[in-house]
Amino acid sequence: MWLDRLYTVGIDVGSNSIKTVLMEHDDNGSEAKLLFSDLSKIRKRETKLVAEQSFEQVLSRASLTPDDIAYVATTGEGDMVDFRRGHFYSMTAHSRGAIHLNSAVRSVVDGGAMHGKAFAIDERSKVLTYKMTSQCASGSGQFLENIARYLGIPLEDVGALSKESTSPEMVSGICAVLAETDVINMVSRGISASDILKGIHLSMARRLVGLLRGVSAEGEVMITGGLANDTGFVAAIQEIADSENMNVRFNTHELSIFAGAIGAAIWGAFRHKKLAQSELQHQ
């Protein structure tokens, strides 16, 4: 059946939250428009369930049914989503999403809950090189969340507080779990929350800038993933990059956190057309 409008859904299954977008595409697939988005924290619930709910959420807002969706594309830990049609690897999706949000970017930093990734892309969003953090959560989004919790500060306030810092406390390579002691220690030494947070932002930024250097990033860099919402982190990463004389400018977009989902939805449309064509050829 041919709808005059093509709808696809992209679901980015993160370790922390699930991001779902519904997109509408024009006939030749060159224009894609975001209709609705949903972000659901997993919070110890079953991932699969959260994904389903998130999917239903966006559909109901658009008053669509699953049958109206041409392609459900997952990215991230999409294995859990059994109603997907196809899966794209996260860098493939994030890079596409980043280009969609800002066609000028040539590098992407994806700051997620567990891993940090940096990759260089071309104008078609093809991933040229990439670097990822290792199997240690130190310096990850989760790390930051833990610290915020130990400090008793809501995640939303972290950015503003960090920017108030005047003399950031140096931290590096501390365990995401044992950080609690270090943080309590800093508090008891009379270091302010904003200096602690800024110190942590700087240390996270240093790691990610290291990755970016590894992919020889230059020019416009898009921050995707949840960390893009953290203005303190964004400021810190720019600061570090500048101090190391890197010629990069960091971009964020209010939809940065949805970049993976958006990219997946766009690739979904692309594959859908490819598949439809080859079906036509077969007939």
Whole-number minimum distance, CB 177 to another protein, in Å? 4
Q: φ, ψ for residue 71 (rounded to 5)?
A: -155, 125
Give the per-residue contact string, 233-262, with ligand ADP (x = CB under 6 A; - = no). Answer: ------------------------x-----
Contact between 16 and ligand ADP per CB under 6 A: yes
Whole-number minimum distance, CB 173 to ligand ADP, in Å? 18
Contact between 225 and ligand ADP per CB under 6 A: yes
Distance of CA 197 to the CA centre of its chain: 21
263 close to 73: Cβ distance less than 8 angstroms: no
Q: How many angstroms separate the CA atoms of 59 and 57, rounded?
A: 5
Residue 8 interacts with which of ligand ADP, another protein, ligand SF4, none, CB < 5 to 8 Å by class: none
CA distances from 48 to 15, 53, 162, 239 (A): 12, 9, 35, 39
**3-class SS letters over 13-58:** ECCCEEEEEEEEECCCCCCEEEEEEEEEECCCCCHHHHHHHHHHHH
Number of residues near another protein (by CB under 8 A) = 44
Residue partners of 223: CB distance under 8 A and separation at least 6: 108, 109, 110, 111, 234, 237, 250, 251, 252, 256
Nearer to another protein, 51 or 59 (CB): 51
CB atoms inside a 10 Å sphere around CB 85 = 16
Give the per-residue contact string, 144-183, with ligand ADP (x = CB under 6 A; - = no). Answer: xx---------xx-xx------------------------
Give the per-residue contact string, 132-151, with ligand SF4 (x = CB under 6 A; - = no). Answer: ----xxx-------------
**Which residues make up the interface to ligand ADP (CB under 6 A)?**
14-17, 76, 112-114, 141-142, 144-145, 155-156, 158-159, 225-227, 229-230, 257
Binding site for another protein (CB under 8 A): 15, 42, 44, 46-48, 77, 80, 88-92, 114-115, 124, 126-127, 130, 132, 135-137, 140, 142-143, 152, 154, 174-178, 180-181, 184, 187-188, 210, 213-214, 216, 267, 270
